[in-house]
Structure formats: C-alpha cells, structure tokens
Chain A
C-alpha cells in the first residue's frame, strides 16, 4: 500500500466510448502526475499538477483530458481513443514538484485496452 489508489484496475473501452480514470492520494502531497507505460517503452510523463494547477503537459493528444479538483484527487478523462492508446496508466504523487528533489509514490495502475 503506497497511499495512492487508482480505479478502475482494468478497463476495456471502444474507440467511441468516454471513460474516466480516478486517482486518490492519502499522503497530503501537493503534486500529482499521470504516467503512461506502453509495452517495450519507458514510462512517459503525461501531466503534472502542483497545488491543483497543471504545470506540465507533455504534448499529450487532446483525447486525454486531465482534471484535478483538489490536491488529493486526479482524473484522466478519455474519449475517442485509439488502439495504440492501450497501456498501463499510472498515477503518482509527491510532496512537492520534482524540481525540489522529492520522492514519488505510485498507484497500482489502470490497465487500459482500447478495442
């Protein structure tokens, strides 16, 4: 148990569906992140939120839409995805942004399959 919880653990969706991934952290951290892990590729940063404000968007297509209503919750809204978007999506949190040298904690991930 890392203190970061993601739901659902598995998701299968069609290309025309709309779904959302949820992340909640119980660590009192100020920064939250979405990462994508595809087969045969290193983990890639997607979005960074610090104190609820988006500070990084790593050239992510607009079919991925993040939302951070407060410092404890982070969502990733998905719509009109492509099969190549199938991957493990990982949420992380840290006390402060990585620039300050801070430890990151990850959730269990959501394994997404787009059919």
Chain B
C-alpha cells in the first residue's frame, strides 16, 4: 500500500513563530487533505488540496503532486494551534483515506 510520512513527528514553538509541516507520499494520489486533531479527538478539515496552493488565514498549504509531497505552513502560531496535524491521501482506486502518523504541535505562550 501507499506510504504516508509526516515530519517532524513533534514540534514545539513559541507563540508567534512560523512553522512548516511536511507530508511525503510514495505513489500518485487523487486526493490529499490536511486535518487538525484537537485535544478532544475532533478532526478538523484544514485543506482539501490534491494539487496547487491554498490559503486560509494564517494557514496555507501547497501540494506538488508530481514530486509526491505536500507542505502545511502555519504563521504567527497561537496556543490554540496545538494538537496533531494529519495528512491523508487517497491512492488511486483504494476507496480509502490513508493517514500519516501525524505531527504533534505544541505552541507555548
């Protein structure tokens, strides 16, 4: 099956700092999503981004499908950004979203 690797596994930031999270995948994909899992377990949709670049406030994402990676940028981080960020991909024909192991972000005041 497809491999989805996220880096770094853990990240600690001072409030106000910027960060880049990376998602590498081992094969072509039709679908890529970024999620934020809050401390209560809820998965919040951040971006649906199989290719190209999108921005939403302090967050933006870029997927370069031909090179099999996606990046999530967080600018001016806030304590409420803490949690686990997941990348998930749909591998052609699998009818499944394959999740990476996540990046655990902690933003300290």
Contacts and interface: CB of A to CB of B under 8 A. Distances in A.
Interface of A: 2, 37, 42-43, 45, 48, 55-56, 58, 88, 90, 92, 97-109, 111
Chain B: interface size category: 20 to 34
Interface string B21-53: 000000000110101000011111100101000
A98 B45 contact: no
A108 B10 CA distance: 23
Contacts of B48: 103
B17 interface: no
A88 B95 CA distance: 21
A101 B101 contact: no
B101 A106 contact: no
Given A45-B97, A48-B96, A99 B44 contact: no
25 contacts: A2-B44, A2-B45, A42-B99, A42-B102, A43-B86, A45-B97, A56-B95, A58-B96, A88-B41, A97-B95, A98-B31, A98-B90, A98-B94, A99-B93, A99-B94, A101-B30, A101-B50, A101-B90, A103-B33, A103-B45, A104-B33, A105-B45, A107-B42, A109-B41, A109-B43
